[in-house]
Amino acid sequence: MNFQLCSMFDFLKSAPKSYLGIDIGTSSIKIVQLGIEENRAKLETYGFLETYGAIELLRDTIQTSSVRLLDAQVVDLLKKLLEKSKVTTRNAVISIPVFSTFSALMELPDMPYKEIEAAIPYEARQYIPVPISEVILGWNIIGKKTREAPDDPTAAPAISKIEVLLIATPREVANKYANITRMLGLNLKAIEAESFALGRSLVGDDNVPTVIVDIGSRVTNILLVENGYVMINKGLDTSGNELTKILSHALNVDFRRAEMLKREKGLLQRDDSERSINKVILPVIDIIINEVKRVGDFYIRHRGKKVERIILCGGSAHLPGLSDYFSASFNNLSVVVGNPWRKVIYPSSIEPILNDLAPSFSVAVGLAMREL
Ligand SMILES: Nc1ncnc2c1ncn2[C@@H]1O[C@H](COP(=O)(O)OP(=O)(O)OP(=O)(O)O)[C@@H](O)[C@H]1O
Ligand SMILES: [Mg+2]
């Protein structure tokens, strides 16, 4: 367990309207407290606790069982982090990891908003693989599909369908997160799927069709965002940890050494030897790229639009050479590393640190922004 970095801003007093975003990742916990200044989000404090493999165990527990002790361990870690970062607000928003949610694209006949609202829980039964009573449903109306009326008056008439993205969170999972915040004495304002937080912090209401690829430690979360709405969402079980594992195996070095080599060389070391780092990790990166391509193809088929930019985030967005490799794989499309601080006020003296942490903090910042 390693408290790698904790920043404290003693000089900042928290305004009454401040919110704390909490992202419990597989390899680290990120927290951010934001307040408001002249209608803009202002950074009040943040904390980052790198936990390596320990949290993986905890998150599996959060996901699958109800061992009290491990919940208590998460609480203990968070308590220390809140203290060290001098968090002053009690208002918290916490994220649900993508692998704990189900998402599906649903079609409904076009009808008034109130009726759509009433129909969604009923219709969702066909799309969600568990009983609806056991999940909390989140949804976005993402568009309308119209089939033109044909010239032939005897043919079928024009029809409109509403498309809805469903994101369902098992109640059991939500309850666990609610319990964790209760044990910390926090006032839980919302539990949110990671994807909505990412859309908010990295894209906002920008109407450029954007794919966000959050490459964390255990999971890669791929989402397509347009006009502030998450239109498509896919979780992939291939991520940063997999890169380290495969490298450790191929080079016959321990996990820590492989992690170091990965961070240092990434995709930049290009030689043809079988043990070239580039050669070992590229097939794993290609799995992620292929999935992103599938999301782009789906978008073209369903909405007739093209993805115009890709934003990489999550700790693995730091992998040397990754943006260039992505861009080359997508015909030189614009590929950037996401910066969730872009709309946040902060002291310029800490800009280098914040830039370094930016990709990892995309979820936590989006959560804290939710209620501002
Ligand atoms: N400089 C770097 N180069 C390459 N990879 C890096 C670098 N820094 C961190 N990583 C990788 O980023 C990953 C951690 O990212 P992040 O903090 O976003 O994950 P997480 O949120 O804890 O995990 P998850 O979302 O999958 O549960 C690790 O796999 C780590 O090896
Ligand atoms: Mg994460």
Q: Which atom of ligand 1 sits closest to the CA of residue 27?
A: 22
| Nearest ligand to the C-alpha atom of residue 235 | 1
How far does residue 319's CA lie from ligand 1's centre (Å)? 9
Judged by average pLDDT, the poorest of 56-65, 295-304, 361-370 is 56-65
| Nearest ligand to the C-alpha atom of residue 359 | 1
Over the stretch 81-95, which tens digit does the pLDDT of each residue have?
A: 999 999 999 999 999
Q: Is the pLDDT of residue 170 over 70?
A: yes
Report the pLDDT value the prediction gives residue 148, as an integer from 0 to 100: 61
Query: In 3-state terms, the chain is what percent helix, strand and coil (to 5)?
Result: 40, 30, 30
For 306, half-sphere exposure in the C-beta direction (CA atoms, 13 angstrom radius) is 6
With cut-offs at 50, 70 and 90, classify the pLDDT of residue 16. low
**Which amino acid belongs to residue 236?**
L
With cut-offs at 50, 70 and 90, classify the pLDDT of residue 258. very high
3-state DSSP assignment of residue 12: coil
How far does residue 313's CA lie from ligand 1's centre (Å)? 9
Report the pLDDT value the prediction gives residue 65, as an integer from 0 to 100: 44
pTM for the full model? 0.89
Q: Tokens 């391509």 — which residue?
A: 293
Report the pLDDT value the prediction gives residue 156, as an integer from 0 to 100: 60
Report the pLDDT value the prediction gives residue 1, as an integer from 0 to 100: 42
Q: Which atom of ligand 1 sits closest to the CA of residue 263?
A: 3
Question: Which residues, including other chains, have CB under 8 Å from residue 32's CB and lie 6 or more apart?
Answer: 20, 21, 43, 45, 46, 361, 364, 365, 367, 368
List C-alpha distances in Å: 131 to 146, 170, 212, 219: 31, 9, 30, 25
CB 255 within 8 Å of CB 279: no
Over the stretch 349-368, which tens digit does the pLDDT of each residue have?
A: 999 999 999 999 999 999 99
Structural domains of the chain, with CATH: 2-100+170-245+275-369 (3.30.420.40), 102-168 (3.30.1490.300)
361 or 169: which leads in pLDDT: 361
Q: Is the CB of 235 under 6 A from ligand 1?
A: no
- Mean pLDDT for 199-220 is 94
- Mean pLDDT for 315-325 is 97
| Nearest ligand to the C-alpha atom of residue 215 | 1
Please tell me the residue having the least CA distance from ligand 1 atom 21: 25
Please tell me the residue having the least CA distance from ligand 1 atom 9: 315
- Mean pLDDT for 36-41 is 92
From 24, 27, 288, give the residue whose CB has the most ligand 1 atoms within 8 Å, as the site to mutate: 27
Hey, what's the torsion of the CAs at 278, 284, 289, 293, to 10 degrees?
140
| Nearest ligand to the C-alpha atom of residue 236 | 1
Q: Is the CB of 241 under 6 A from ligand 1?
A: yes
How far does residue 37's CA lie from ligand 1's centre (Å)? 31
Q: Is the pLDDT of residue 66 over 60?
A: no
- Mean pLDDT of all residues belonging to the chain: 87
Query: Would you say how long the chain is, in residues?
Result: 372
Q: Is the CB of 44 under 6 A from ligand 1?
A: no
How far does residue 312's CA lie from ligand 2's centre (Å)? 12
Q: What is the DSSP string of 270-312?
A: ---STT-HHHHHHHHHHHHHHHHHHHHHHHHHHHS----EEEE
How far does residue 284's CA lie from ligand 2's centre (Å)? 18
How far does residue 95's CA lie from ligand 2's centre (Å)? 10
Q: Which atom of ligand 1 sits closest to the CA of residue 56?
A: 27
CA distance 232 to 226: 10
How far does residue 217's CA lie from ligand 1's centre (Å)? 5
Question: Which residues, including other chains, have CB under 8 Å from residue 73's CB and lie 6 or more apart?
Answer: 58
Report the pLDDT value the prediction gives residue 237, as an integer from 0 to 100: 93
> Which candidate, 313, 243, 248, places its Cα nearest to that of 283?
243
